[in-house]
Structure 1
Amino acid sequence: MPVAIVYLNKSLCGAIQQHLETECRDFARAHGFAIARVVLESGVDVLPWTLRKSDLLGGDAIVTPTVEHIGFRAPVVLERCALMIVHPYGWYRRGEVDQWIPATPEVFR
């Protein structure tokens, strides 16, 4: 079973953090992924650490509620693993930068 890491930015979660985490877990499971870890960014950018941890865990994907939670850095994530975005729905394979991912920088289009 492929492995995924849920990635949340605490400043964007507010009172619905638990709901967003559950939504990401359910989304990943519905697509056949097991959740290896939940990462909560709170003030310090932990995306680089998360990507390294994903490599160590054999992670296949990062799951996030919106692309805003990863700071609109979809191309950075897609260099290392797949990206699953709950809202708006999107599942992007590793290495495939899709021009329709919200806020994808012009250089990647």
Structure 2
Amino acid sequence: MTPKGGLTREVLIPHDLSAKLQLRKFKQAVTIVDRKINYLQRYNIGGGKKWSDSLNKASNRTLSFSNGAHGLRHSYAQERLLELILNQYPYQIILETVSKEMGYFRAESTVVY
């Protein structure tokens, strides 16, 4: 996956999910525009602003509140930090691990979470 920042990383997914994803693959990549940026989309799955709006609506409908997609990202980072702290990993290793998982190049960026 190559996000708008240009960082490319591999993501491991289970075989059954991979098979379902392949069923949604376009025969040819489609250009979409999201927030005035052109993207090549290879799979018929939601993303970008439409996905973010959908997440907000579903959260509001189900929970009566939404912290948005960025809030979901913050929650993940906080939970992951806590998990690693409780497992007594060294602080610098914790910061580096979560930093990489969040797509940052510097561990110090993780401190905001």
Q: Please give the range of the TM-score, normalised by the shorter of the 2 chains.
A: under 0.3
**TM-score of the two chains, using structure 1 as the length reference:** 0.27
- TM-score, normalised relative to structure 2: 0.26
Structure with bigger RCO (C-alpha 8 Å, 6+ apart): 1
User: Which entry has the higher C-alpha Rg, 1 or 2?
Assistant: 2
